Structure 1
């Protein structure tokens, strides 16, 4: 067993720098693809910063989505009790265990790899994850994040790196013009906030957009008799026509504008508001009052 403390600055040789990343990519025949949103972090300071911002402790079991060549994986292994990486690319998945074993042999037994699309993962090997930390592919960041939070309720803390614009949307509050479906749905699971910005120069290849960190701390979902699916159906309907009032936007969901108005009023909400003004709790209240087929008002008053 090595006596070197893997968490000490002197152990930076465990982590991957720009030259290491390019050497590994060349050796494995890896060519980053836009299709899978592959932009590899090449800066050890950045991955350590992400791990610190995530608040990873020696008791945490971390799940990482899209580990790539292992930059963040190695930094997570320095700090956590266990790391499970979910990788969709067979070539990257094939080599990552070897990279972990060669760079951090004393901690290789704390690492597990799942070759899968993260959207299809329903169980993980090892201990139940307590934290999700990931550099998420930009094109699937929101659905992957929401799927992981829904599938693994043991995840208490999340820190994801996403496109800066997506980070802003996730952390937006009611009344903000960029507040929308991602904001509301993420808030169902967690308290959400921006946790910093990441420059383009720490990636290879460098993306054409800036990146942002988003922190999510698990909370109890709103107290409601409606299911998550029912609440999310209201959210989707409200923002499908976000410039319309709730009465108009929810007409299809409720069966008619009059039925929508009835449900909105029963929830104690002004039907002339737009969806961007409502909290997740208010959407849940509307979902509770969706009229049944028998009780729906006539289509009188419906608007085209």
Structure 2
């Protein structure tokens, strides 16, 4: 069993043909066929006998196979039921549980509580491009008891997640990530190491989850409403973006910005997380 190299293109093709599996474009299926990349992802995740891994979208199981060898327990969530028979023939690990469900509909806090008693839980995944942002936002907003996230995503998305203030990549998702974690792009991955080959390159990005949010605010919901409003129309000034999207008067927004020491004519892309925090708190003081 352990001798089967699932990342081998030859092995993968033989097994998928055997089960009559067809790749789904709508599910963004691109399976890894490079053992070095698989090893690097596991290395970045820093797994040991105390680790519990939640894998999103195991696909063919190339990464799953190594995760099972490195971690104490792996729970994988796979949306494609047609992979069930493939998995039965290739992933017979006693420390693996596969749930055939849509990750976006899973109660992950309950899953972690039920499956990973006392373990250091990490999320590790090769995420489908088409659903990367909803998955990452779900993970960050639902505040799981996890220490680390290591995911492969489209290179352009990784750059947005890890962007610096003032750059064209910097946006609302950058700030959502900054609020809860430290990020690092561990490696870029060429499109040649996938079957089928996608049109763009990928990157492996690691999130080290902070014990508490990076800044303290009076109202977290208002913080993210302010951030989203500021980036919904990037060319608008902060005062116009906030008054249009928050449905508050320009007078109130102007007052809040001045009190937060923010120029009302600046654009959101020029503001740091701390500055958004100050704006959020000043608005809350005026509407409560």
Fold agreement, TM-score > 0.5: yes
* Moved segments of 4+, more than 6 Å: 292-295
- CA contact 2:219–2:284 (8 Å) conserved in 1: no
Matches within 5 A, 1:34-113: 34-101=25-92, 108-113=93-98
1:46 to 1:161, Cα distance in 2 relative to 1, 3 A = same
Deviation at 1:14? 5.0
Report the alpha carbon displacement of residue 97 of structure 1 after superposing the two structures with TM. 4.2
TM-superposed CA distance for 1:258, in Å, is 2.0
What stretches of structure 2 of length at least 5 have no aligned partner?
none
TM-score when normalising by structure 2: 0.90
CA pair 260-254 structure 1, distance change in 2 beyond 3 A: farther
Q: Is the 8 A contact 1:41 1:71 kept in 2?
A: yes
Work out whether 1:261 is the aligned partner of 2:250. Answer: no
User: 1:256/1:12 Cα in 2 relative to 1: closer, same or farther (>3 Å)?
Assistant: farther
TM-score (norm 1): 0.85
How has the CA–CA distance of structure 1 residues 143 and 135 changed in structure 2, closer, same or farther, with 3 Å as cutoff?
same
Are the aligned partners of 1:149 and 1:155 in contact in 2 as well (CA < 8 Å)? no
Tell me what 2:12 maps to.
Answer: 21
Cα distance in 1 for partners of 2:286, 2:279 equals 16
- Equivalent residue number for residue 226 of structure 2: 234
Question: How far 1:52 sits from its partner (Å)?
Answer: 0.7
Tell me which residue corresponds to 1:150.
141
The one of 155, 161, 164 equivalent to 2:155 is 164
Of 147-156 and 78-87, deviating more is: 147-156
Q: Which moved more, 1:278-287 or 1:59-68?
A: 278-287
Contact 2:254 2:264 in 1 (8 A): yes
Count of residues in correspondence between the two structures? 280
Let me know the Cα RMSD of the aligned residues: 2.1
Q: How far 1:227 moved relative to its partner?
A: 3.5
Rg larger in structure: 1
